[in-house]
Amino acid sequence: SLKQGYAILATMVTIWVGFTALMMWTEFAHHGPAFDIAGGAMEGKETRFGIGGTSIFAVATTLTSTGAVDGFHSSFTGFGGGIAMLGMQLGEIAPGGTGSGLYGMLIMAIIAVFIAGLMVGRTPEYLGKKIGTREIKFAACYILVTPALVLVFTAIAMAMPSTLTSMTNSGAHGFSEVLYAYTSGANNNGSAFAGLNANTPWFNTTIGLAMLLGRFVPMVFVLALAGSLAEQNPIPETAGTLRTNKPLFTGLLVGTVMIVAGLTYFPALALGPLAEGLAS
């Protein structure tokens, strides 16, 4: 219904505003004479728009599937680069790509009502349909496909000696370059951390596979889930039905999105942008 749509929209807006605030905070929060004169970290940023405009653009492009940039994401602070990466790792759902952002958020909504159902001990329902074992399996497969592609390819790449020759930077930032490349490919973004030479047989092949599988395999599970729900007869709301058009559900949905992505990607982010940000 329209009210459920408002709850989804409120979730997208909340995530976008939160990420924008964090990005601007980390890019403006610097100390020292040079940073004070410049008003923050200006390296790699579009001077016409400044830190604020470039930060907003970075969040907007990584929470969607545009891939356009007006500054070098690799030149952002460690935390700033991590925020850009996490925006894609959420599944680009705030608001995401045309169509894909909406069905990605709907998958998260199903996960959220499932968690709520576990809390109160009843079968979860969403939009008048019960979320049973088959539905939650399809939703779980959807949220596992892209992280598996990103993390497996990143791990293999980092284990190969040839990868070191493609990395301009070493240490945590070099790892972030590789992680960003596969995150962008699998999540259909197209932006990149400048500094990684991805024009090699290994990176051309594996990033291409990440793009192919990351685009089409999740669609299979979304269509399967839609077919499973379509087979059910609508059920009426009861006193125990979770109201999915209230601010409480918006908060639950935001928390679900962040927890699912955080638990999945946090170890990799800790080795890259978090380690770099804490060391600076």
Q: Which two tokens stand for residue 83?
A: 């925020």
Q: Which residues of 137-158 are buried (b: 16+ CB within 10 A; e: fewer)?
A: ebbebbbebbbebbbebbeebe
Write down the pLDDT at residue 201.
94
Q: How many CB atoms lie under 10 A from the CB of residue 128?
A: 14
Write down the pLDDT at residue 141.
94
Residue found under tokens 């329902």? 125
**Could you read off the pLDDT of 31-62 as tens digits, one per residue?**
555 455 555 677 778 788 888 899 999 999 99
| Residue 189 to residue 192: CA distance in whole angstroms | 9
20 in Cβ contact with 56 (< 8 Å): yes
Write down the pLDDT at residue 91.
86
Q: Which domain holds residue 62?
A: 2-279
223 in Cβ contact with 230 (< 8 Å): no
Q: How many domains does the chain have?
A: 1
24 in Cβ contact with 268 (< 8 Å): no
DSSP class per residue in 142-179:
HHHHHHHHHHHHHHHHHHSHHHHHHBSS-HHHHHHHHH
| Residue 169 to residue 195: CA distance in whole angstroms | 7
**Could you read off the pLDDT of 66-82 as tens digits, one per residue?**
888 888 888 888 899 99
| Residue 107 to residue 142: CA distance in whole angstroms | 8
| Residue 74 to residue 198: CA distance in whole angstroms | 14
Write down the pLDDT at residue 216.
92
Tell me the backbone φ, ψ of residue 158, rounded to 5 degrees: -70, -20
| Residue 181 to residue 191: CA distance in whole angstroms | 8
Low-confidence ranges of the chain (pLDDT < 70): 1, 30-40
Write down the pLDDT at residue 101.
82
Strand, coil or helix: what is 196? Answer: strand
Q: Which two tokens stand for residue 187?
A: 């999540």
141 in Cβ contact with 228 (< 8 Å): no
Write down the pLDDT at residue 18.
95
Write down the pLDDT at residue 37.
52
Q: Which two tokens stand for residue 44?
A: 């790699």
CA 64 to chain centroid, in Å, comes to 9
